[in-house]
Structure 1
Amino acid sequence: MVPDAACIYEAWTAAMDDIADVEGLQSTFVLNTIPKSAASVSKNNGVGNIWDVDDTQSLTILWQLSTNWGTAVNDLRMANWATKFLDYHHRIQGMDLASDFLYMGDAGEFQNPFLGMPLDNVQKMREIRAAYDLQGVFTHLNWGGFKLGAWADSVC
């Protein structure tokens, strides 16, 4: 594990002490990478990379929390715990960890993955939506996930 990843992992371990009494608590901490070669392929394969992930360096620390608990009485407490932990560690300075990129598949409901995308790409998605989803099915009728209308329209 690289030193920066170890720092985040140790912080997560310490933060788990704050919620150790939560009934049915199950939590995982996952580290992932995006090698620069993968980002480069996605930028140059004709399909593109809507997130515009930098292909000059590997993203060595993409991390996610997955936390479950047993009763609804802890919902607000756990949401606040996760938000506080993620907000703080996304803003760490001096460790070269901060990035606006949020992988949409792992983002929490309180996060906005569209904020890390280039505005031109968000606009391109809006144009595609306007051309192919005239009734707004994927914005209004599709359950779950991040909707371009619900999140991205407030970005710009």
Structure 2
Amino acid sequence: MAKNPKLSVGDNAPDFTLPSDTEGEVSLSALQGQKFVLYFYPKDMTPGCTKQACDFRDNLDAFAQKGYAVYGVSPDPVERHAKFREKHDLNFPLLADTDHQVAEAFGVWREKTNYGRTYEGLVRSTFFVDADGKIEAIHDNVRATGHVGRLIRDL
């Protein structure tokens, strides 16, 4: 598989339409005129992804005060997202990128190595997108623990 494109600050965010666990479909065009955070995470119900999602949940007001909506994206299906949301009382939409096409467009579906095994997978990353659909900030290949706190400090 070819290496995915890398985006830069100032680039237009790739167009996307994904099913949401709460809002039907969410698309870049529907989000025009508002700022948002799109964070990509590997899998619902895993320790790191749960920690990160709960950190976003607990700090959602900090993002809202700066005018940002928050959306989580993973390859899990909507049904699993709904269970994840319910179990952890998440207060923001989760988007299902089951064919990882959006992750590829954002350049976060890449080669990974874990315990000596190489495979293609989602690299935990966060994008801030402005009201015009341009990327304001990129946090690539981040650790779940402490990530949301660092984002808030950077706001």
Whether these two folds match at TM > 0.5 is no
* Bigger relative contact order (CA 8 A; separation at least 6): 2
Identify the TM-score tier after normalising by the shorter chain. Answer: under 0.3
Q: TM-score, normalised by structure 2?
A: 0.27
Larger radius of gyration: 1
Of Structure 1 and Structure 2, the greater helix share is in 1
Q: TM-score, normalised by structure 1?
A: 0.27
